[in-house]
Amino acid sequence: MSTPFFVFITEEATELHAVKRSLSLLFGMDKKNALDALFTQIRDGDEITRSKNLEFLKTELNTRQNEVNASEELQRHIADWIKMIMQAGASGSDIKLLLDLLQTLPLFRSTAATNTLPAELVNLITLAADLSKDFDPANQAHITQLVDCMNTVVPLVKRGGDGTPFVSYVLIKAGPQLAACSEPNAFALLKGAAQLIKSVPVLSVRSLVAPLYAVLRQQLPRAEEAEGQELKPTVTEAVTAAVEGEKKETGTKLFFSNLECILFMFHILAAKNQALFSHIVAAPVVTAGQPIDTRGQESKQDFKEDFAARLKLLEEQAKTFSTKLNETAKNLRAQAQAAQPAEAKKQANDKIATLAQPIRLLKSLQNLASALLKKQPTFFAKPQASWFEKQQGQQGEQKQQGQQQGQQQQQKGQKRKSTGGSEATEKKSRSEQKFSGQPGESVATEGRGQGQRKQRGGKQGGQQGQKSQKGQQAQVQQRQQQQRSQKGQGQAQQQKSQKGGQKRQGQQQQQQQQQQRSNKGANKQGGAGRGRGRGRSNKGRQ
């Protein structure tokens, strides 16, 4: 069957439905041919055509999930097409959409050692990122492409991929020019490298030690280097303005978010091979006998003193800024409690929520720095960064919201049950008072009477509820008493039957004894008669 070429370019609903219907029917008849038609348009079509075909393909695969998951051949056909499109030079956003499709397949999620698909995809994404190009802080398109590719590789390295090429590019090529990047771009690059740092093999750690320390020195000055300039701890402009007041244009900035990413990578690499960091951290580590590449910089002792001085400055600044953040949050909470208009209260709560993530960031930063300043440093193989805590916090909040909604629904159901009796009583009381009321009463009196009747109805409903509960308890007690009485009667009958059986056994034993006695007497009499007969016969003979 030849591959038809379906085009999702029409905006007419009827025509679009007809095209989707035709392709869906083809998918049911020949899945491979339908996939070829879709992926051909994804590869050769323009941006609108690609997005529409990807959307339809995602819907169709979800609809036929059982059929696709049952066929490993079909899954490999989809994987081959995705790799082919990536090799043709797909953009970062298209790669993400294609990988979202691929991650739904059991073939991708397989943990078998023979599953090389994640590693192959990482290699293809590495080619798409164009890491051979020199880094240019002014080339926003390349930076966006690089960040998108790194974010796409994150789930792949957890299944066997290697993110070392991206980490090396950020630290070696982009690292020396991070100061020329905008704050969001610098943080996005460092965070992308930090998310991939765990996939770096031990043999590749050596080449990253010196570039990582150079980035740290660039982002974290010593006190004497910042002498004469005001240090400006910075998280985001909104948070800094909330704590420091009006933004200041002069001074040396400390980007806490960038420094957290750098120390995060430092801990993981040092945990992989401590010997390579013995010239930086004051740790008694025995090296493997190979020289450390310090690239002609200071001696080992100078490295350690320099590193300790920078970390102490960072620890002091993070602690000071954290205190300011907590004080600001405390004041905002007091303002929220005292605020009367709902809008003012909401604004205060929004500001408090804005400070939550920076407070976690500074706490994480202090933990990472203090662990390296110890006399016996500690290297965290699995440190917890603030962006991990943010994701866990969002999941916890969603879980808590679900629990609260469930509790509210349960309370509503109980409230409906409890108010059922009170509503019936209220209607009854209203009808009685309507016929018994006098014709000259005022409207105000009727209103008060209705309010009183509602209260009485509520009380009566509550009393009826209590009575019904007491009646249920009485019924339970009666059933328990009946069970006890039945049990007692059964035991008594059983005891009587046992006693009757014992009495009958005794009577039978007595009868047997009497019979045995009578038999013994008869035996004695027969023996005596036989003896007298023998005596008479003897006398006759004589």
Question: Looking at the predicted structure, is the pLDDT value of residue 462 above 70?
Answer: no
Cβ 28 vs Cβ 37: under 8 Å: no
Question: Looking at the predicted structure, is the pLDDT value of residue 278 above 70?
Answer: yes
Choice between 382 and 450, residue whose per-residue pLDDT is larger: 382
**What are the tens digits of pLDDT across the range 483-516?**
676 665 556 566 665 666 666 766 777 777 777 7
Question: Looking at the predicted structure, is the pLDDT value of residue 370 above 90?
Answer: yes
Choice between 397 and 383, residue whose per-residue pLDDT is larger: 383
265, burial (CB in 10 Å: exposed 0-12, middle 13-18, buried 19+): buried
**What are the tens digits of pLDDT across the range 82-109?**
888 887 777 667 777 888 888 788 887 7
Question: Looking at the predicted structure, is the pLDDT value of residue 365 above 50?
Answer: yes
Place of tokens 């994640």: 118
CA separation for the pair 2, 109 (Å, rounded): 32
**What are the tens digits of pLDDT across the range 151-202?**
988 988 888 889 999 999 999 999 999 999 999 999 999 999 999 999 999 9
Q: State what percent of residues in the chain have pLDDT above 70.
A: 61
Helix (H) or strand (E) holding 255: strand 252-255
261, burial (CB in 10 Å: exposed 0-12, middle 13-18, buried 19+): buried
Report the pLDDT value the prediction gives residue 163, as an integer from 0 to 100.
Answer: 93
Cβ 57 vs Cβ 101: under 8 Å: yes
CA-wise closest residue to 23 among 13, 14, 12, 33: 33
Termini Cα distance of the chain = 141
Report the pLDDT value the prediction gives residue 87, as an integer from 0 to 100.
Answer: 79
Q: State what percent of residues in the chain have pLDDT above 90.
A: 20
Choice between 186 and 117, residue whose per-residue pLDDT is larger: 186
Q: What is the DSSP letter of 203?
A: G
**What are the tens digits of pLDDT across the range 417-436?**
555 555 555 555 554 444 44
Instruction: Categorize the per-residue pLDDT at 288 as very low, low, confident or very high, splitting at 50, 70 and 90.
Output: very low
**What are the tens digits of pLDDT across the range 33-92?**
888 888 888 888 887 888 888 888 888 888 888 888 888 888 889 888 988 888 777 766
Choice between 2 and 460, residue whose per-residue pLDDT is larger: 460
Report the pLDDT value the prediction gives residue 32, as an integer from 0 to 100.
Answer: 86
State the chain's mean pLDDT as an integer: 74
Instruction: Categorize the per-residue pLDDT at 252 as very low, low, confident or very high, splitting at 50, 70 and 90.
Output: low
**What are the tens digits of pLDDT across the range 305-354?**
889 999 998 999 889 888 988 998 888 888 888 877 788 888 888 888 88
The DSSP code sequence of 10-76 is: ---HHHHHHHHHHHHHHHHH-HHHHHHHHHHHHHHS-HHHHHHHHHHHHHHHHHTHHHHHT-HHHHH
Rg, the chain, Cα only: 44
Cβ 65 vs Cβ 29: under 8 Å: no
